[in-house]
Amino acid sequence: MGWKERELQPDKSPRHFYGSEIRRLRKLHDNMSLGRLAKILNFSLGHLSRIEGGDSKPPEGLSEKLDTAFNTDGSFQRYYALAKREPFPDKYSTYLKLANTAIGHASYTLTVPGLLQSEAFASAVLNAGEPLATPEELEDWLTTRMARQTRLHQDPPPCRYWFIVDEWALRRPVGGAAVMVEQLSLLLAACQLRHVTVQVLPFSAGVHSEMGGTSLILLTLPDQEVIAYEEGSRSGHLIEDAHAVAQRRDLYDLLRAQSLSPHDTEAVIRSALEGFANALRGTARPLADE
């Protein structure tokens, strides 16, 4: 049975209409494949597929290329005027869908990344971050977060992971000493996985580009395209523009250079773990932010 293109929803939004027009005109032009159109436009096939499906906003400059390719006398430029003003809905859902197909995942987080959180740690973070949520909502979010970790432990691993974690995440007690002992032990276990690299960005690194508290995530998709996702405590921003993504990759390379080696990272995690373990035994108090 041959591959079947998914059904489009042109009446859902200006962005979806824009994408459906790409497919309609492709079909009118000798049933042109999306791959062929991507070559004509000199554009990423994966990105073009997401635009046609309504999952991504069209970037600046694409409409002019489409009008030239299809000889549509400015139609796509007029559609773009509407599509670019449309707020991008369900950004996190789109990010999760892309993350579940990525072959490379690189992130910097101020706290322990969700993919490496213990259930108790994740529960404490969610309860603190969403104090007005209902118990049912918190339970749903926790279940979703823990379910995402399944892909990390698949055999063979479908993705290469690189995590840069701020030292702040190791020192600030979340949920109490017992929760931190479990969490830091889990983090050490992740360091032993062959497809996972963990680095700590130490306090001694001083100022850096992500001090505003934003998490930076870079996803490498199966077609080798890289997209970025920036997330704050209350919002997320998906970035697909090639120039903007390249800037984030440069920033991530700087963070990687400022971070400890994997070997030294394990030593710092063990030190923090020992501090919380001692606190749990009542013999010492762990270091926290000064």
Distance CA(121)–CA(161), nearest Å, equals: 21
Q: What are phi and psi of 50, to 5 degrees?
A: -70, -35
The phi, psi pair for 82, rounded to 5°, reads: -85, -45
pTM, to two decimals: 0.70
Tell me the two tokens of residue 10.
């042109």
CA distances from 224 to 16, 101, 288 (A): 25, 11, 40
Q: Which residue, among 181, 169, 119, 173, has the nearest Cα to 144 in the 3D structure?
A: 119
The pLDDT of residue 10:
81
Predicted pLDDT at 4:
65
- Measured CA to CA in angstroms, residue 110 lies from 63, 165, 172, 185 at distances of 38, 6, 11, 18
Q: Check: CB of residue 279 under 8 Å from CB of residue 267.
A: no
Give mean pLDDT in consecutive 10-residue pieces for the chain, a chain of 290 residues: 69 85 92 93 89 85 94 90 66 79 95 95 92 83 88 94 96 95 97 97 88 87 92 77 93 96 97 95 58
Map residue 230 onto helix, strand or coil.
strand
User: 173 and 286 in contact (C-beta within 8 Å)?
Assistant: yes
Domains and CATH numbers, the chain: 14-83 (1.10.260.40), 91-281 (3.30.870)
The predicted structure's pLDDT at residue 283: 56
Nearest by Cα to 211 from 106, 110, 107: 110
Enumerate the β-bridge partners of residue 227. Answer: 219
What contacts 241, CB < 8 A, 6 or more positions away?
Answer: 59
Q: Count CA atoms closer than 13 A to 72's CA, side-chain side.
A: 21
pLDDT at 1: 42
Contact 140, 261 (CB under 8 A): no
Beta bridge partners of 166: 201
Instruction: Supply 37's token pair.
Output: 């159109």
The predicted pLDDT at position 290 comes to 44
